[in-house]
Amino acid sequence: MALPKHTEFRYRVWHYIYISICIFVFIFLVAPLFVIIPLSFNAEQYIHFSDDMLALKPEAFSLRWYEDMIYGTKNPWGLAFRNSIIIAFFATLGATALGTLAALGLSSRFMPYKGLIMGVLISPMIVPLIISGSALFFFLSDVGLSSSFPGIIIAHIVLGTPFVVITVTATLSGFDHSITRAASSLGSTPWNTFFKIILPLITPGVVSGALFAFVTSFDEVVVVLFLAGPGQTTIPIQMWTGLREQLSPTILSVATCLIIGSVIILVLMELLRRRSERLRGISAR
C-alpha cells in the first residue's frame, strides 16, 4: 500500500524502516527452508552442498531420496505416513466435534463461569508437553489404552481441542444471535436452527480449527514418544529416530513434503478467513 503524497518525511522513513524489519524477520524465519529444500534433491549420500550442486550441474541433483521415501526398503516412511494420517484424521474429527460444542456452550449468555471453563479447555496449550505426555501415559496405562491407536488418538484429541475452541469462539464473537431468535419465533427447532443457520455461518471457524487440530496431531512428537508402541510409529517419530540412528537425506525429502503441506494449509486458512469476513460483512484487505 503506497503512502499518501502528503505524508511527512519522518513517517516515510519509519514506514520503510518498518518494512525492512518485517523483511528481515521473514527471511530469518524461513532461511532454514531455503537450505532443506535444495538439499533434498542432492544426488549424494551426504547432507551437504557439493561443488557440483553449487555449480548447478544437472547430475548433482536427483529424486533418489523421494523415491526412497516412497519405495524404500520395507518402506518405513510409508508405514509412518499411514499411521500419521489415520491418527490425525480421527483426532481431528474428535477435536472438532468437542471443540465446536464447547465453543457453542461458551457463547451462550446463560453459561456460568465462562472464564474458568475457558481456562480449563485451553490448558493443554499452556501446560508443557512433557507434563501432558506423562499424565496421559499414566492415565491411559491405567485404562489399558497405552501403546494403542485409540490411546494416541484420545491424547491428540486432548491437544487439538483447544485450537478448535479458540477459533470457533472467535467466529461466534461476531455472530448475530438475533438470527437464531428470529428462527425460533418462526417455529424452527433447535436442531434445524443449528444445521441450517448456525453451522453454515461458523463453518470457516470450524474448518480453521480442524486444520489447526490436524496439524497439531500430525506434528506431535513428545506425547507419541510416551504412548506409541512398535507399530504406532508416526512421521515425526520416524524423522526423530532417523536423526539419531541413521542420518539420511530421505529425512530432508520428508521435511520438504511437510513444508509444502503446511503452505497449502496456510493458504486454505487465509481463504477461509477472507470468506468469514465476507459472511460477516467485513471487507477483506
Domain contains 1: no
Domain-embedded: residue 83: yes
Say if 270 falls within a structural domain.
no
- Residue 280: inside a domain: no
Higher-pLDDT residue of 247 and 1 is 247
118 with 30, same domain: the answer is no
- Is residue 68 domain-resident? no
The larger pLDDT score, comparing residue 149 to residue 110, is at 149
Residues 175 and 274: their CA atoms lie apart, in Å, by 16
Q: Kindly state whether residues 125 and 233 are assigned to the same domain.
A: yes
Q: 27 and 146 share a domain? A: no
Q: Are residues 47 and 108 in the same domain?
A: no
Residue 27 shares a structural domain with residue 136: no
Q: Is residue 209 in a domain?
A: yes
| Domain co-membership, 81 together with 207 | yes
Q: Nearest Cα to 47, choosing from 224, 253, 189?
A: 253
pLDDT value at residue 215: 87
We report the CATH number of the domain holding residue 138 as: 1.10.3720.10
Do 48 and 120 have their domain in common? no
Statement to judge: residues 176 and 201 lie in one domain: yes
Same domain, 218 and 151: yes
What integer pLDDT is reported at residue 73 of this predicted model? Answer: 53
Does 228 map to a domain? yes
Whole-number pLDDT of residue 285: 45
Question: Does the pLDDT at position 267 exceed 90?
Answer: no
- State the DSSP code for 4: P
Q: Is 256 part of any domain?
A: no
> Quick one: pLDDT at residue 284?
45
Nearest CA among 218, 172, 175, 180 for reference residue 197: 180
**CA–CA distance, 61 with 102 (Å, rounded to integer):** 50
pLDDT for 1:
56
pLDDT given for residue 74 in this prediction:
60
- 3-state secondary structure (DSSP) of residue 57: coil
Residues 216 and 208: their CA atoms lie apart, in Å, by 12
**96-146 residue pLDDT tens:** 999 998 888 888 777 788 888 888 888 888 888 889 888 888 988 888 887
**Contact of 216 with 156, CB cutoff 8 Å:** yes
pLDDT in tens, 169-211: 888 877 777 787 888 888 888 888 888 888 888 888 888 889 8
Supply φ then ψ for residue 61, to 5 degrees: -115, 145
Please give the residue range of the domain that contains residue 54.
9-60
Number of structural domains, the chain?
Answer: 2
Say whether both 99 and 32 belong to one domain. no
Q: Is residue 145 domain-shared with residue 15, that is, in the same domain?
A: no
CB neighbour class for 12 (10 Å; exposed up to 12, middle 13-18, buried from 19): exposed
pLDDT in tens, 42-77: 887 777 777 778 788 888 888 888 887 777 556 677
Q: What percent of the chain is predicted at pLDDT more than 90?
A: 12
46 plus 94 within the same structural domain: no
Res 154: pLDDT: 92
